[in-house]
A and B are shown apart, each in its own frame.
Chain A
Amino acid sequence: MKARVIVTLKNGVLDPQGKAIEGALSSMGHDGVTQIRQGKVFDIELEDGTSDPEAKVKAMCEALLTNTVIESYSIEIED
């Protein structure tokens, strides 16, 4: 069983890395980008038959994987 956690910066939190990537793309000639926000992905393998995987992964997000002061997250479970 697999879970994917996608972590993004909350709105209003400045993302200097995203800004730098935006600048680099624009200088390479990739036009039309209005904003880039950098995030991260965790791919988590869970034992098959794990009960309530969503709740389990949510607990991991709250405990360690994300800093909820600045980050939001979403969880996808794949059987």
Chain B
Amino acid sequence: MRAVVVLVPGLNRDRDMIAALEKISATPPLTVWATDTDLPAADLILVPGGFSYGDYLRCGAIAARLPVMQAVIKAAHNGVPVLGVCNGFQILIEAGLLPGALMRNASLRFVCKQVRLEVTNADTVFTRKYSQGQIIDCPVAHHDGNYFAQPDELAALEDRGGVVFRYAEGTNPNGSLNDIAGIVNDKGNVLGLMPHPENLIEPLNGGTDGRALFESALAEVA
């Protein structure tokens, strides 16, 4: 199993992601830098959170056009599982790997808090170790997590079970349509979510509900 973490200027959750992978799989992941044009052979690619390029233009827009992301897009098209968290989710959307858009939170405020998520599709590479409908805790920390898609696109996403995580009733922190917190692509190998499962993987973090996501993805490729 070889996990590869994508490093881009302005990300700040990369070390959390690396630590989580190391703690869960006992193997440190490899890293690739923004300007790299090739990826090492990877079984799992992770795009962490942060504020790539200062969120200039649109969140994730500039990072999505980097050379390293062209390699990630290629790998995704070849079926390699790709996980994007927070700014990583925004980058995957801007890269065209996931549908829709992430807009400014409806409250216009940065939200940093614990929310509850419902696992609405436990039949993906990333969620097999959860059960369908399970409610989990997960922290969020973002300013632009308000998921939007045009009505036909949203209907198509819902119809194919593309919504993997929803904010559980009453905890939608950003105004996302249909309480959407995380979505998967058509093929099922690219997942993006705004919450930070990598920050809830051991009791010291205040819980372990994020762990199963990494355990699912790592088991899939082991």
Contact = CB atoms under 8 A, between A and B. Distances in A.
Interface of A: 12-14, 16-17, 20, 63-65, 67, 69-70
Interface in B99-137: 99-101, 103-108
A70 B61 CA distance: 13
Contact of A14 (B57, B61, B62, B103): B103
A28 to B, nearest CB: 18
Contacts of B103: 13-14, 16, 70
A20 B149 contact: no
B106 A69 contact: no
Contacts of A13: 103, 148
Given A14-B103, A16-B175, A70 B108 contact: no
21 contacts: A13-B148, A14-B103, A14-B106, A14-B148, A16-B103, A16-B104, A16-B105, A16-B106, A16-B146, A16-B175, A20-B108, A63-B65, A64-B57, A64-B61, A65-B57, A67-B58, A67-B101, A69-B101, A69-B149, A69-B153, A70-B103
Contacts of B105: 16
B174 to A, nearest CB: 10
B148 A70 contact: yes
Interface of B: 57-58, 61-62, 65, 94, 99-101, 103-108, 146, 148-150, 153, 175
Contacts of A70: 101, 103, 148
A65 B65 CA distance: 11
Given A17-B104, A17-B108, A20-B108, A67 B61 contact: yes
A4 B153 CA distance: 30
Contacts of A63: 65
Contacts of B107: 16
Contacts of B149: 69
A70 B107 CA distance: 19
Given A64-B61, A67-B94, A70-B148, A16 B100 contact: no
Nearest to A42: B57
